[in-house]
């Protein structure tokens, strides 16, 4: 792990005598899905700025040329439920809030362990609920991701009056088939023959803009290799294609298990562009567990102009 200072455009302003403030951060990644992690436990002002998309703070932090660069910003806060060691919030690179992020949850867990706030087994509050966490060794963590919901109104998926294994929508004259599920955030899962050739850059945004998904959607393109192995690429809402998506991996396994294509209860290895995750899904209890890596990249400060 290295240490760095990430200069922002406010650095020059500060040198010219204009006020600037430095935001301390940890840059982390889980299977290539990268994050800027901020400690908000004693900084309500910073939390308010992040929660205001018009402030532009998330976009400034996430910018890969003039900021730190990340897929999402994670803010660690005081626990909201009894028994949890902390809570966290999630903002996409465009400043929009998110309710779930599996790779981010592991990074928050690793951050809290390093901070001394958490041990081997603990609980975390996320925007979508409370999650059990276990250290799995070698920089890996297992997160209890809760139960998937296939009810159309919970995703939300418009135009569907009942749960279906496969939905079909018309996008500009082309029929697109997909499975849909909520993991605390909305997911569409499209089965393809080869993820390398999947139309991630075109079909992903098209589904996100579709009236079928009034709150947009994370779109996963999945290739089934065996009943215990799949490949996956995900176009995330508010971020575009990312190297990994933990909730997307859970969603893919849940949908494919429901369709009879994989054995989620036996465990499924999910290969993403940034690394591998292991997902275990018990359709009986509805519980999904996700195991994967969390790593520190560097620590730093980014100078930001006050009010920018």
Q: Write the pLDDT tens digit of every residue in 164-193.
A: 999 999 998 999 999 999 999 999 999 999
> What is the reported pLDDT for 11?
35
Q: Is residue 150 classed as helix, strand or coil in its secondary structure? A: coil
Active-site residue, from 101, 107, 235, 250: 101
What's the CATH class of domain 2-143+294-305? alpha beta
Topology match between the domains 2-143+294-305 and 152-286 = yes
pLDDT given at position 172: 87
The catalytically annotated residue of 107, 235, 245, 250 is: 245
305 confidence band (pLDDT: 50, 70, 90)? low
The reply to whether 245 belongs to the active site is yes
For domain 152-286, is the CATH number 3.10.310.10? Answer: yes
For residue 238, the model assigns a pLDDT of: 86
Gap between the Cα atoms of 61 and 58, Å rounded = 5
The residue extents of the domains of the chain are 2-143+294-305, 152-286
For residue 306, pLDDT beyond 90: no
pLDDT at 7 over 80: no
Annotated binding residue 92: yes
For the segment 191-215, what is each residue's pLDDT rounded down to a tens digit? 999 999 999 999 999 999 999 999 9
On the question of a cis peptide bond just before residue 156, with omega within 30 degrees of 0, the verdict is yes
- Count the Cβ atoms, other than its own, within 10 Å of residue 43: 16
Instruction: Kindly tell me if the per-residue pLDDT of 17 is higher than 80.
Output: no
164 marked as binding residue = no
Ranges of H-type helices in the chain = 10-15, 44-50, 57-62, 102-115, 200-209, 246-258
104 touches 35 (CB < 8 A):
yes
Predicted pLDDT of residue 233? 98
Burial 126-148 (b: 16+ CB within 10 A, else e): bbbebbbbbbeeeebbbbbbbbb
Q: According to the annotation, is 72 in a ligand binding site?
A: yes
Question: Hey, which bits of the chain come out as E strands?
Answer: 2-3, 20-30, 33-39, 72-77, 86-92, 97-98, 121-126, 129-137, 140-144, 167-171, 174-182, 186-191, 218-226, 229-236, 240-242, 268-272, 275-281, 288-293, 295-305
Q: Is 250 a catalytic residue?
A: no
Q: Write down the pTM of the prediction.
A: 0.88
Report the pLDDT averaged over residues 68-79.
97
Q: Per-residue pLDDT averaged across 217-221, rounded?
A: 98
Which tens digit of pLDDT belongs to each residue from 259-270?
A: 999 999 999 999
Is 63 labelled a binding residue? no
102 has binding-site annotation: yes
**Does 247 count as an annotated binding residue?**
yes
246 assigned to a ligand binding site: yes
Share of the chain above pLDDT 90, in %: 88
Q: Reduced to 3 states, what is the DSSP secondary structure of residue 30?
A: strand
């Amino acid at each position: 792990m290295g240490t760095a200072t990430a200069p922002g455009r406010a650095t020059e302003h500060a040198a010219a005598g204009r006020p600037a403030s430095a935001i301390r951060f940890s840059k982390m990644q889980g299977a290539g899905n990268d994050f800027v992690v901020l400690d908000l436990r004693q900084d309500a002002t910073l939390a308010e700025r992040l929660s205001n998309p018009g402030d532009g703070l998330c976009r400034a932090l996430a910018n890969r040329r003039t900021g730190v660069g990340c897929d999402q910003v994670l803010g660690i806060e005081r626990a909201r439920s009894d028994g949890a060691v902390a809570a966290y919030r999630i903002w996409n690179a465009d400043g929009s809030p998110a309710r779930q992020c599996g790779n981010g949850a592991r990074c928050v867990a690793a951050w809290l362990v390093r901070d001394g706030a958490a041990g081997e087994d603990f609980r975390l509050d996320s925007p979508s609920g409370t999650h059990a966490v276990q250290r799995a060794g070698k920089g890996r963590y297992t997160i209890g991701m809760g139960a998937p919901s296939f009810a159309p109104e919970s995703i939300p998926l418009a135009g569907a009056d009942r749960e279906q294994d496969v939905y079909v929508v018309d996008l500009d004259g082309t029929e697109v088939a997909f499975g849909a599920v909520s993991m605390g955030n909305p997911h569409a899962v499209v089965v393809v023959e080869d993820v390398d050739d999947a139309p991630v850059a075109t079909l992903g945004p098209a589904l996100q803009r579709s009236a079928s998904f009034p709150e947009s959607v994370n779109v996963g393109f999945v290739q089934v290799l065996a009943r215990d192995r799949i490949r996956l690429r995900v176009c995330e809402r508010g971020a575009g294609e990312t190297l990994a998506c933990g909730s997307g991996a859970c969603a893919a396994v849940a949908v494919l298990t429901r369709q009879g294509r994989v054995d989620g209860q036996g465990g499924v290895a999910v290969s993403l562009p940034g690394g591998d995750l292991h997902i275990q899904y018990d359709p009986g209890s509805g519980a999904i567990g996700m195991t994967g890596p969390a790593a520190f990249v560097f620590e730093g400060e980014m100078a930001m102009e006050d009010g920018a």
